[in-house]
Amino acid sequence: MADESFFKHETAIVESSTVGAGTRIWAFVHVLPGAVIGAACNICDQAFIENDVRIGDRVTIKCGVQVWDGITLEDDVFVGPNATFSNDPFPRSRQHPERYARTLVRRGASIGANATILPGLTIGERAMVGAGAVVTRDVPPMAIVAGNPARIVGYDGAGSLSAGALSTTPAEVGASPTRVAGVTLHRLPYVNDLRGNLSFGEVANQVPFEVKRYFLVYNVASKEIRGEHAHRSLHQFLICVHGRCHVVADDGTNRQEFVLDSPTIGIHLPPMVWGIQYKYTEDAVLLALASDRYDPASYIRDYSEFLELVKTSH
Amino acid sequence: MADESFFKHETAIVESSTVGAGTRIWAFVHVLPGAVIGAACNICDQAFIENDVRIGDRVTIKCGVQVWDGITLEDDVFVGPNATFSNDPFPRSRQHPERYARTLVRRGASIGANATILPGLTIGERAMVGAGAVVTRDVPPMAIVAGNPARIVGYDGAGSLSAGALSTTPAEVGASPTRVAGVTLHRLPYVNDLRGNLSFGEVANQVPFEVKRYFLVYNVASKEIRGEHAHRSLHQFLICVHGRCHVVADDGTNRQEFVLDSPTIGIHLPPMVWGIQYKYTEDAVLLALASDRYDPASYIRDYSEFLELVKTSH
Amino acid sequence: MADESFFKHETAIVESSTVGAGTRIWAFVHVLPGAVIGAACNICDQAFIENDVRIGDRVTIKCGVQVWDGITLEDDVFVGPNATFSNDPFPRSRQHPERYARTLVRRGASIGANATILPGLTIGERAMVGAGAVVTRDVPPMAIVAGNPARIVGYDGAGSLSAGALSTTPAEVGASPTRVAGVTLHRLPYVNDLRGNLSFGEVANQVPFEVKRYFLVYNVASKEIRGEHAHRSLHQFLICVHGRCHVVADDGTNRQEFVLDSPTIGIHLPPMVWGIQYKYTEDAVLLALASDRYDPASYIRDYSEFLELVKTSH
Amino acid sequence: MADESFFKHETAIVESSTVGAGTRIWAFVHVLPGAVIGAACNICDQAFIENDVRIGDRVTIKCGVQVWDGITLEDDVFVGPNATFSNDPFPRSRQHPERYARTLVRRGASIGANATILPGLTIGERAMVGAGAVVTRDVPPMAIVAGNPARIVGYDGAGSLSAGALSTTPAEVGASPTRVAGVTLHRLPYVNDLRGNLSFGEVANQVPFEVKRYFLVYNVASKEIRGEHAHRSLHQFLICVHGRCHVVADDGTNRQEFVLDSPTIGIHLPPMVWGIQYKYTEDAVLLALASDRYDPASYIRDYSEFLELVKTSH
Amino acid sequence: MADESFFKHETAIVESSTVGAGTRIWAFVHVLPGAVIGAACNICDQAFIENDVRIGDRVTIKCGVQVWDGITLEDDVFVGPNATFSNDPFPRSRQHPERYARTLVRRGASIGANATILPGLTIGERAMVGAGAVVTRDVPPMAIVAGNPARIVGYDGAGSLSAGALSTTPAEVGASPTRVAGVTLHRLPYVNDLRGNLSFGEVANQVPFEVKRYFLVYNVASKEIRGEHAHRSLHQFLICVHGRCHVVADDGTNRQEFVLDSPTIGIHLPPMVWGIQYKYTEDAVLLALASDRYDPASYIRDYSEFLELVKTSH
Amino acid sequence: MADESFFKHETAIVESSTVGAGTRIWAFVHVLPGAVIGAACNICDQAFIENDVRIGDRVTIKCGVQVWDGITLEDDVFVGPNATFSNDPFPRSRQHPERYARTLVRRGASIGANATILPGLTIGERAMVGAGAVVTRDVPPMAIVAGNPARIVGYDGAGSLSAGALSTTPAEVGASPTRVAGVTLHRLPYVNDLRGNLSFGEVANQVPFEVKRYFLVYNVASKEIRGEHAHRSLHQFLICVHGRCHVVADDGTNRQEFVLDSPTIGIHLPPMVWGIQYKYTEDAVLLALASDRYDPASYIRDYSEFLELVKTSH
């Protein structure tokens, strides 16, 4: 029998015995026996919760939402009205897959009104799925997605993209601090004569470390993200030498977005800064100068692990 | 207690006491106490009506629709099945905005099946939101919108856009009447020699008024509308001198859409005609010749006010 | 009274007396009196079935779906959660069309989660409407559609489109068999000198029949399909001489998709092969050489009829 | 017998008896009997002068130049070394046209080294044909041409084209004088909002005359000139509303070149100013507002006549 | 000693003893001993003729021309003033190639004023090199070339290229004769529906022969010619299915140029018609249907031989 | 009086007394008194040599060439027939500049037939001006130029540009030697996944020196050269990270041209190698990694000096 510490509207049908304290379940809701629902949730009219479902604490499920077998909603998730999940990538009537695709909505993420989530995806921590979006790929932590199919249009908390972002680029040659600890933005020297343009950087003057490696990123489909990790000890200096891309830097506390759109703008990402590169134009070429050779062990690829490491390093 | 002159299905839960006569409320509907609902409405199965809601007379709400706090539906509005409203632009679970964004659906507007309406928007009078559209901006009166994000694809009652519209352009140099009172379409004289093209107009011959002002509209994003108003006494003569745009003219009774796609087509908009310009191509430049200097007092910017003025002027 | 051989949840309201054996109707469902529902169906929570509705056998209707007057779902159809039908192309509150637009979902078709189906369309046999798609045009048999508005992105069972398809093209000049009976793919001879390229084919060597007719297909909007039929006795040899298009060939048992993207690739479609051409690039020109003159009686335009003919011809 | 007041190198063959005083004729030159040569000319080694030739005073003909039947060189013309004239547009051996094409090089013009002049052309007053140019069309007065085929690259004395020209455009809205009498350059007001740009001008404020006519010039091949004349009494106000073109204004004494490349730049050409428009980009649209209706009698199309009129009007 | 039947100006130096009767050699000309010069030539002032030179009858050499070792000018050639030949592709002072490049100017060709002919080229019969052209490649018979580097701009006698050529295309579906014997121009049937365009031809109706072979010509650099030959017995039917190209047809007496710029225009070239295809746009694809298999023996590749064959076949 | 050790044709007029031994001066040549002419020259018919002229030894001047005041031809220069110099950038009849523009043709350079050299230019050592070229800018040492205006099309001795050049790029990741001492061509490692391409290099593995500086060259007009110098001690590693450019490397003995057209091709230029970069595509971005900071003293900018230094360093 269900925990009586939760509220159930008289028309709701709650067959599960695992519902947390303080949770409210409203009119015409139907919860099947196997569902596990946390505390302090709010499950609105006409919602439907199947059996193989895990719902954390403080989750909001608005009207008209179904949560199917194979879906996990972590703590503090918000699911907007009529947002629709699915768990079979190629459904045919009365043909059931051996195992339903699993969907994971990570802690603090929100799914907008009437959004559609294709089967088998992960929606990252604090990500925001826009109203009406049709999500066909994993959504990274903090990313904001919109459209059909959904594309990343920004990052939560990374600030005003256009004016605000670039206004921090120093007008004069030199470096300037940013909102993110240790990250500096550099206006690089350049010479413009009739023969064309030449910009440059020298170790110690513009590039704040010895260069042991370079790499070039190019031919990135605009819908793709390249880079989304931190490094334990590596310094990087990034310049978009052709085209344009965006860089989000995040020290675990502050986050800021930068537009790299000129060979005369560089950004220094020191160790223990989470960096994301995205919104590559079709013709973008990103040059990265690195302080050390390639070492897979240097990468921190899980944002939660990164946050943990940042916390413990203080 | 609710007015017993309305119909309520036995499974519906109606907590409001303000429901108009003749309104029908169907199975599994839930109406919260604060909602105000007009007469002769039809509220279908599984609809949900929150508290801070105003619904006019003769409104249709199809199955699966929720009407949230902050939403007003004026008289004669139609809301299609599973169409979804929202009232929080950046929802997070259990974090409520100080004040919900307000949504206003004006008299006679229709919202198609499964459309999504973002928070804080106004849907204009008799506008038509297409099925599946995701509306991210205000919708002007009579506009038809579709897509994700939704764009204006036409105007209700403005007639066949392509063939029909242009067929009214006179093939020979000269003016021809249109369906809209006082509006004339002009084929302008031009000279084409090896050096290029030259088209022209002279006051009294082609341009039916003295020119006291010109203005140029350009760099209009294709999703934008420029102009959507009437003038009390000003004459305008419009020529799209590069690219293409559409003009809708409306005398309060008849409405017609014109494609301006050549420097040899001009349109004369006399006073007291509501004019809309939209569907600018990226490279469009619209030249307007005006019969008087700029005077903000000349503008009528509210369509209802325009209709009122037209009526009283007869 | 309804046939008691079906299951009805205690909260469901079933007013129809024509429900087939083995059909299950779940919580908060509402079925109006005129609906005709087949056997072994599964109609999930909060579904709504109007009167002028025909539903075949073994149909699945997931939660939150409404089936309106004028809609027919043939046997084995799947309708995903919150998928939304409509039956009035230009709805206004309390203005009913003389006759509702009719929607036909053919045998075995599936409609993905939260998809929107505009009024008056036919969804072909075994077609697949992707989750979140907004369907504005008829969907051909076996086609897979996605997006807003929905476009064809593939054909069910036609195999891997990119690598897989082309890997069957012979690297050397000559013909090679395909998975489809009688269909051969040809690498055509060509000469490349400083003046440009020349490719060619000769009857008996490359083109396996006498040529009595040629035709050219061009200016095809990318969203369009040209060709979707079989011929009783005609041979065709197809070459995409500019741009690129896709050809799906189907012998009634096997189906395969081919990318024609070079004047040096030809495909021979013998009689009694169902052929589809689609995904034309804007600049595509398809050259077809045919073994006989044009004869409308040669065409089989209905896929079911084709399947029938294939069966009887063995 | 030739006038003995001129110098003749001992190896020169001078068969004409009409050579002006002070003219020098150098080694290996050959002058046929019918040629008429003015005074103070300099005819260098290996030049060849045919019979039906008129050469004015103070003309320089450098080495290796032939002056064929049908060619007139007015006073002060310079012909560079090996510059080559022709007088038969489609020469075949021993097939002579009925009448040779006539070439006219107007007063003060210069023809650069090794340039080629096709038959039947006029090189305008003080024009400058660049070294190595192949001239296939008439060259306007003062124009500088270069290339194969030759294009106008500037106008003699019109000043620095790029920076210098535009630097006179006022940075603030308003008018500013130019080097040319009566001509003013205008920065026009404009409004820029999210919907696009709007620029405008009002009679008396920006446009210094009543507008009786407008005309639009477009689709000008970049090699073409549109406009090259003065008006007796007409005022014009020119705005390049799309693309870019150049305007040269000339009051008979001073000349200046302007780049019109924005709808916010206007130029006022008062009566009795010689105006040239050229270097149209492919997409240029030039809007001209005029103070009177079209009157062919208003045009002064001959630059010499213009200069005469300017002189007498002072 | 030279044949005294020719004229020599007193200042000319003629060291050759092989000069034909009636030839005139003018002032300051220098002819070296080994030169062979035909009858009735005209060699103008300051020309220079080296030793290993063959000049036919009725050749005109205008002033300032040098004819170097290795150059042959056939009968009736015209060389304009200052036109310049060369015979060493990579000249260095005092370094002589083992053998000079040979230049051949075929019967009746003309070289315009100040043109430059690079070493080792053949200028075809009756070709016309425009004034100032720099010829870097062989020039085909009758071709007209201009520019630096020179490109083919037309064919002598092929008529007006633009209007004239196309005006012969029948406006209605069907065939029409041309100025060239046996050549017909065809307007092909086509069907235009919403899905795109389809044009076609059937043997006997549109295509006047059985098709035994097709070939496709594409990726032709615009400066190139593809096809320049006649066939002894082959019929061809040409359609430019994408882009545009020009076809010149020549029956030995009449010549006409056609612009193929639509899949609905075909041209039938019967046997014994000299055909040239050129001016391919970058995206042009030419489809040829042929009445027989490929047979190298069918080709007549020498225009003189073609003329001979035409003559004898009558 | 002239040195009688040279040959003079009886019709030549030689007024200079400074002509070197073994020089031959042919018919109708005119040499003015001030000219200084070296030994073993060959000055052909109709040439004209003014006063302020310096001509070195072993120079060839073909027919119809004039050498004006202000022109210097160093040893071993070749000037083709009718090639035309000029010495006044803006000639007007009888208006002489204060001082004539000086033209310098460096040792061993060749000027093709009928080329035009604008005033004031330097033609570098062993450069080659193509026939008919119109030279409007300085020509670097060894460069081959052609066209109107003339552009660099190659470098003398740098080998076959297309196939030959790239064939030396190793197909496998790694370095390979070239014909130029010390210069290596590198195929760089890269990773290609669905997200785009990544290529890279590490110090010691791919980049054979420590990186102390990078620079980027971009926005180079295609007619321009960037780089044309050697370094005394600097190493450079060049990668064209977008677009394409050509690099010529020259060790003083051997010269080779390389096409950099991929981020996966690098070239190592060690000290004392003369490097030229040219033929930049409009979108080219060249990344240079350098072994030291910028030091102007490191540059050797004069090719003669470079050759001298190479010689002495052996």
Q: For chain F, what percent of residues have pLDDT higher than 70?
A: 94
Residue A285 has pLDDT above 90, yes or no: yes
| D226-231/D299-300 β-pairing | antiparallel
Q: In what order do the strands lie in the sheet with D60-61?
A: D7-8, D24-25, D42-43, D60-61, D78-79, D110-111, D128-129, D143-146, D151-155
- Per the prediction, chain C carries an average pLDDT of 90
- Of the two residues C166 and C302, the one the predictor is more confident about is C302
- Is B77 at the interface with chain C, CB within 8 A? yes
| F/E Cβ contact: 3+ pairs below 8 Å | yes
pLDDT given at position B168: 58
Interface mutation target, options A152, A198, A236, chain F, most CBs of F under 10 Å? A198
Q: Which chain E residues touch F63 with a CB distance below 8 Å?
A: 48, 66
- Greatest distance between any 2 Cα atoms in chain A: 83
Q: Do D94 and E128 touch (CB under 8 A)?
A: no
pLDDT in tens, B93-110: 999 888 889 999 999 999
Check CB contact of B63 with chain D, cutoff 8 Å. no
Which amino acid type is present at position A25? Answer: I
Q: Give mean pLDDT, residues E126-144.
A: 94
Does any CB of chain F come closer than 8 Å to the CB of residue E48?
A: yes
Which of E196, E203, E289 is nearest residue C218 as measured by Cβ atoms? E196
Contact D254, D273 (CB under 8 A): no
Task: With CB atoms and an 8 Å threshold, state whether C82 touches B110.
Answer: no
* pLDDT classification of B88: cutoffs 50, 70, 90: very high
List subunits contacting chain C, requiring 3 or more Cβ pairs under 8 Å.
A, B, E
DSSP state of D307: H
Q: What is the mean pLDDT of chain B?
A: 90
Q: What percent of chain A is predicted at pLDDT more than 90?
A: 68
Residues of A in Cβ contact (< 8 Å) with B149: 146-147
- Determine how β-strand F110-111 pairs with β-strand E134-135: unpaired
Please identify which of the residues A229, A235, A268, A314 carries the catalytic annotation.
A229
- Answer whether residue F270 shows pLDDT above 90: yes
Other chains touching E, judged by 3 or more CB pairs under 8 Å: C, D, F
Q: How far is D134 from chain E (nearest CA, A)?
A: 6
For the cut 90, the answer to whether the pLDDT of residue C51 exceeds it is yes
**CA atoms of B224 and F286, how far apart (whole Å):** 40
Hey, how many other C-beta atoms are within 10 angstroms of the C-beta on A2?
Answer: 16
- Determine contact: F195 vs chain A, CB below 8 A: yes
The answer, yes or no, to whether D and C have at least 3 beta-carbon pairs within 8 Å is no
Q: Outline where chain B has alpha helix (H).
A: 163-166, 303-312
Residue among F58, F81, F112 whose CB faces E66 most closely:
F81
Q: Cα E7 from chain centroid?
A: 34
Whether C285 has a pLDDT exceeding 80, the answer reads yes
pLDDT of amino acid A161 = 41
Q: Please tell me the least confidently modeled range out of A40-49, A266-275, F200-209.
A: F200-209
Q: Tell me what pLDDT residue B311 has.
A: 87
Closest CB to C93 among B11, B27, B59: B59
Indicate which residue of F30, F96, F186, F229 is catalytic.
F229
Interface mutation vs chain F, best among D9, D11, D28, D37, most F CBs within 10 Å: D28
Report pLDDT for B169: 66
Determine the pLDDT at residue C7.
97
Classify burial at E167, counting beta carbons within 10 Å of its beta carbon; exposed 0-12, middle 13-18, buried 19 or more.
Answer: exposed
pLDDT of residue E227: 76
With bands split at pLDDT 50, 70 and 90, how would you rate the model's confidence at E158? confident
Average pLDDT of the residues in B225-245 = 91
Closest Cβ–Cβ partner in E196, E214, E280 for C220? E196
Query: Which run of H or E residues covers position A151?
Result: strand A151-155
Whether the CB of A149 is below 8 Å from some CB of chain C: the reply is yes
- Interchain CB contact of F69 with E (< 8 Å): no
Nearest chain D residue to E110, by CA: D92
Q: What average pLDDT score do residues C56-77 get?
A: 98
Q: Which residues contact A190 (CB under 8 A, 6 or more apart)?
A: A197, A198, A199, A200, A263, A264
d(CA A21, CA A37): 10
Task: Give E249's strand partners.
Answer: E256, E275
Q: Specify whether the CB–CB gap between B109 and B122 falls below 8 A.
A: no
Tell me, yes or no, if A9 is annotated catalytic: no
CB environment C74-112: b (16+ within 10 A), e (fewer): bbbbbbbbbbbbbbbeebbbeeeeeebbebbbbebbbbb
Mutation target among B210, B216, B260 for the D interface, most CBs of D within 10 A: B216
Residue B4 predicted with pLDDT over 70: no
pLDDT in tens, B31-76: 999 999 999 999 999 999 999 999 999 999 999 999 999 999 999 9
Mutation to test the F interface, candidates A214, A260, A292, most F Cβ within 10 Å: A214
Beta bridge partners of E239: E266, E287
Mutation pick from E10, E46, E58 vs chain D, by most beta carbons of D within 10 Å, is E46
Q: Are strands E66-67 and E48-49 parallel, antiparallel or unpaired?
A: parallel
| Cβ of residue D129 closer than 8 Å to a chain F Cβ | no
Residue B159: alpha-carbon gap to chain centroid: 15
Least Cα separation, residue C134 to chain E (angstroms): 20
pLDDT computed for residue F312 by the predictor: 85
pLDDT higher at E12 or E4: E12
Report pLDDT digits (tens) over A195-236: 778 888 888 888 989 899 999 999 987 667 777 899 999 999
Sequence-separated (6 or more) residues with CB below 8 Å from residue F34 = F16, F50, F51, F52, F53
pLDDT value at residue F4: 66
pLDDT at res. E163: 34
Chain C contact present for E203, CB below 8 A = yes
Lowest-pLDDT range of A30-39, A55-64, C103-112, E182-191 = E182-191
The neighbouring-strand residues paired with E30 are E13, E48
Is C2 within 8 Å of chain A by CB?
no
pLDDT reading at B205 higher than 90: no
- B89–chain C Cβ distance below 8 A for any pair: no
pLDDT tens-place string over residues E232-257: 999 999 999 999 999 999 998 888 99
The pLDDT, as a whole number, for residue F221 is 76
Residue C283 and residue E207: Cβ atoms within 8 Å?
no
| Residue carrying structure tokens 């495909």 | C267
Other C-beta atoms lying within 10 Å of the C-beta of residue B72: 18
pLDDT above 90 for F106: yes
Q: Which amino acid is at B312?
A: T
**pLDDT value, residue B156:** 87
Given a cut of 90, whether residue A302 has pLDDT beyond it is no
Residue D113 sits at the chain F interface (C-beta within 8 Å): yes
Positions in chain D short of pLDDT 70: 1-4, 159-169, 194, 222-223, 314
Q: Does the structure show a pLDDT above 50 at C284? A: yes
Report whether pLDDT(B161) > 60: no
Confidence of residue B191 (pLDDT cuts 50, 70, 90): confident
Tens digit of each residue's pLDDT (9 = 90 or more) over E57-111 = 999 999 999 999 999 999 999 999 999 999 999 999 999 888 889 999 999 999 9
B162, pLDDT greater than 60 = no
**Residue E194's pLDDT is what?**
66
Residue B228 has pLDDT above 70, yes or no: yes
Residues in chain F: 314
Asked if the Cβ–Cβ distance from B219 to D211 is below 8 Å, we say no
Give yes or no for residue A13 having a pLDDT over 60: yes
- Say how far apart CA E14 and CA E29 lie, in whole Å: 8
What pLDDT is attached to residue F156? 87
Residues of F in contact with E28 (CB under 8 A): 28, 46
Looking at chain B, the whole-number percentage of residues with pLDDT higher than 70 is 94
Closest CA of chain C from A285, distance in Å? 26
Beta strand C110-111 with C78-79: parallel, antiparallel or unpaired?
A: parallel
Would the pLDDT of F301 be above 80? yes
Say whether D285 and B285 touch across the interface (CB within 8 A): yes
Q: Is the ipTM of this complex over 0.90?
A: no
The average pLDDT across A166-177 equals 73
Q: How confident is the model at residue F228 (pLDDT cuts 50, 70, 90)?
A: confident
Secondary structure tally for chain C: helices H, strands E: 2, 35
Identify the burial level of A297 via C-beta atoms within 10 angstroms of its C-beta, where 0-12 means exposed, 13-18 middle and 19 or more buried: exposed
Residues, chain B: 314
What is the reported pLDDT for F163?
A: 34
State residue F22's pLDDT score. 96
Q: According to the model, what pLDDT value does residue D197 have? A: 86
* Chain A residue closest in CA terms to C147: A148
Task: Express each pLDDT in B137-160 by its tens digit.
Answer: 999 999 999 999 999 888 887 764
Chains C and A touch (3+ CB pairs under 8 A): yes
Looking only at the bridges linking them, the beta strands covering A274-278 and A245-250 are antiparallel
User: Is F112 within 8 Å of chain E by CB?
Assistant: yes
Contact C114 A148 (CB under 8 A): no
**Who has greater pLDDT, F311 or C111?**
C111
Give the pLDDT of residue C190. 85
Residue E58 DSSP class:
T
pTM value is: 0.82
Comparing CA positions, the residue from F236, F235, F270, F266 lying closest to residue F250 is F270
Amino acid at A69: D
Q: Which one has a higher pLDDT value, C251 or E162?
A: C251
